[in-house]
């Protein structure tokens, strides 16, 4: 019976713990951006964390200088899949389009 009473109190415990954490780590409402470049870099890191690992792997291979065909062959994926990864990476500002497609095209 004592076990049941201990476990039944978890809601109260969590509420108390959350309250203590919120008091220690208060949020700043009027945060000002002092450096635009630092802010952009921070946003870039946040977006990169949201990208899937498989897309990050494609980005690493592109940065090593491999072509789309080589990446697809190495990872046993279709070329179209690699193109989808790259379009998503471009969309999240992880790679520039001119690194993938030459300026002549």
Share of the chain above pLDDT 70, in %: 74
Asked if 94 and 47 count as a contact pair (C-beta separation under 8 A), the reply is yes
The CATH number of 34-100 is 1.10.10
Asked if 47 and 93 count as a contact pair (C-beta separation under 8 A), the reply is yes
Q: Record the pTM.
A: 0.49
Average pLDDT, the chain: 77
pLDDT given at position 73: 93
Backbone angles phi, psi at 99, to 5 degrees: -75, -25
pLDDT given at position 92: 79
Q: Which residues of the chain, if any, have pLDDT below 70?
A: 1-9, 26-33, 46-51, 103, 105
pLDDT given at position 36: 76
pLDDT given at position 28: 60
């Amino acid at each position: 019976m004592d076990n049941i009473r201990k476990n039944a109190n978890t809601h109260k415990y969590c509420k108390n713990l959350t309250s203590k954490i919120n008091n220690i780590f208060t949020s700043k409402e009027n945060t000002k951006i002092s450096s635009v470049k630092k802010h952009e870099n921070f946003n870039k890191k946040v977006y990169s964390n949201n990208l899937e690992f498989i897309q990050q792997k494609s980005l690493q291979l592109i940065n090593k200088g491999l072509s789309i065909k080589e990446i697809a062959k190495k990872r046993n994926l279709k070329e179209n899949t690699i193109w989808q990864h790259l379009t998503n990476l471009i969309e999240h500002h992880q790679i520039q389009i001119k690194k993938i497609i030459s300026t002549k095209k």
